Structures are given as structure tokens and as C-alpha cells.
Amino acid sequence: MSLLEIKNLHVKVDNHEILKGIDLKVNAGEVHSIMGPNGSGKSTLAQVLARRETYVVASGEVSYNGKDLLSMRPEEAACEGIFMAFQYPVEIPGISNAYFLRSALNAIHKYRGLDEIDAIDFLPLFREKLKLLDMDEKLMNRSVNEGFSGGEKKRNEILQMAVLEPKLAILDETDSGLDIDALRIVAQGVDAMRNPERAIIVVTHYQRLLNYIVPDFVHVLLDGRIVRSGGPELALELEEKGYGAMETEARHATPA
């Protein structure tokens, strides 16, 4: 059984169809990359998987770990092991990063019937992950993402992922706006988390991130449909030819 199985998923926003029938299978241990130009529906797919309620699923099924994902609330999905790294991490004034992360971890622990972790036990765990992402401990006492640079925000997302240890991680354009040094740190942080129990979906516009996180599968999303799937070489082909060529091919393949 696949960890994630999406069948003929149609999604609407403001009565406008964004996803027009997505089929995708992701097994534990695999890294999939979903690539596509702006407006192709990449972020919509990521948000639906994270259960953002503003997206209306018109039809289709998504099973995750044998359960119906589409009936879950966002917090349930998170507690079941789904994590989405936001394209635009949200600033939350007045809540410290450390408090937020500990609350999240404890919410998940509670859901799974595990003991809560107090502030003292949390600290060493925290420090270890901070080091992994080369982050300043000072950021932990600051409000969540408030006044963080773009790179700090993205690193903070991966830090959360490292602490919460999801079964399925979805990275929504985590590479956008990062300089090459920040990209390398973020990508290495993600790559270090690859293991046989965990699946990762990397949503990206460009191929560069995939130099560091080499995917097992690449899917090209165009206008709400996956038009091609292949191995890592597909990302390189895309980089070379651009999405335009792919669009032309797609039109020929599916005559209207």
C-alpha cells in the first residue's frame, strides 16, 4: 500500500477549477518532485494535502496511510504525520518560536498518546536541530518568523520539520528567494531527513534544489494536470527545454 495515493483529484478555488484530475502514488522512502510553472496548481496541491479549508475538493480521493485524508482537519493531518513547509511562512507576533514548536510537538504527542515534553527536556532536542540548520539560538526566543529574513524563515520551516519528524513532508517552493548558500543549508537539512519510513514531496519551479535533494521521481504539472512523469533526468530535460516545449507536447498528447 502506498503512503499517499491521489486519485482523480479535482479542486476548485472561487469556483474556478485549479486541479483537473491528479493521480499520484507516493511510497514511504521515496522523494518525488512536482515541477511546474506559476499558476499550474503546484501550491494548490500542497495546500490541499495540508488540508487548507479554503480549497474545495470537487471530486476525487486521497488516501494517506490507509485513511481518508480529505476528511481530516489540518491539525489531524499534522498529527497523522503530514507536514507542509510553507512557501510564505506566516509571521505570528507575540508567540515565541520555541513555545510554538513545543506546543506543536506536544499536540502531536498527545494525539499519539505519548508523554508531553517539558521545556527542559525540549532544549537539547532543539539545540541539536538548530545546529543542523546552522541557526542562531536567539531566533528561538523571537516571535514566530517576525522580522526574520527570507532565508531565516525557510530555515525555520525545515527546523520545524526536523523537530516534528513527519511521515510525509511537502516542501512548497522552499527554494524560492534563497541565495545559493541558504539553499544549500536548507537542502542539506532536508536531505539529512531522508529515510525508508519517510516520503518527501518537493514542489518547485526550478531544478536547482534538485541538485541537492535528488528525487526518485519527477512529475510535471501543467494547467492542473500531471503531463509527464519520470526519473531525475526529467528535471534536467525541463531545465534545458523549458516548460513551453512541454506545454506544446502536452497539447499534442491530449487533443482537446
Name which position in 94, 113, 124, 255 contacts other proteins (CB under 8 A).
94
Shortest spacing between CB 50 and other proteins, in angstroms: 5
User: Of the listed pieces 77-85, 196-204, 224-232, 239-247, which binds other proteins according to CB under 8 A?
Assistant: 77-85
According to CB under 8 A, which residues from 20 to 59 bind other proteins? Answer: 50-54
User: Of the listed pieces 63-71, 103-111, 127-135, 197-205, which binds other proteins according to CB under 8 A?
Assistant: 103-111
According to CB under 8 A, which residues from 148 to 177 bind other proteins? Answer: 160, 164
92 binds other proteins (CB under 8 A): yes
107 binds other proteins (CB under 8 A): yes
- Grid cell 498529527 is found at 79
Sign of CA dihedral 165, 210, 13, 91: positive
User: Of the listed pieces 87-95, 114-122, 206-214, 222-230, which binds other proteins according to CB under 8 A?
Assistant: 87-95
Sign of CA dihedral 161, 189, 88, 219: negative
Sign of CA dihedral 120, 125, 129, 131: positive
55: amino acid identity, one letter: Y
Contact 81, 166 (CB under 8 A): yes
CA pair distance 204, 220, nearest whole angstrom: 10
Shortest spacing between CB 93 and other proteins, in angstroms: 6
Shortest spacing between CB 221 and other proteins, in angstroms: 21
1 binds other proteins (CB under 8 A): no
67 binds other proteins (CB under 8 A): no
Among the listed residues 37, 34, 30, the one whose alpha carbon sits nearest the alpha carbon of residue 45: 34
Q: How is 48-107 classified by DSSP, letter by letter? A: HHTT-TTSEEEEEEEEETTEEGGGS-HHHHHHTTEEEE-SSPPPEEEEEHHHHHHHHHHH
Contact 231, 200 (CB under 8 A): no
74 binds other proteins (CB under 8 A): yes
Name which position in 56, 61, 67, 95 contacts other proteins (CB under 8 A).
95
Which stretches of the chain bind other proteins, using CB under 8 A? 50-54, 73-75, 77-79, 83-84, 86, 89-90, 92-95, 100, 103-105, 107-108, 111, 143, 160, 164
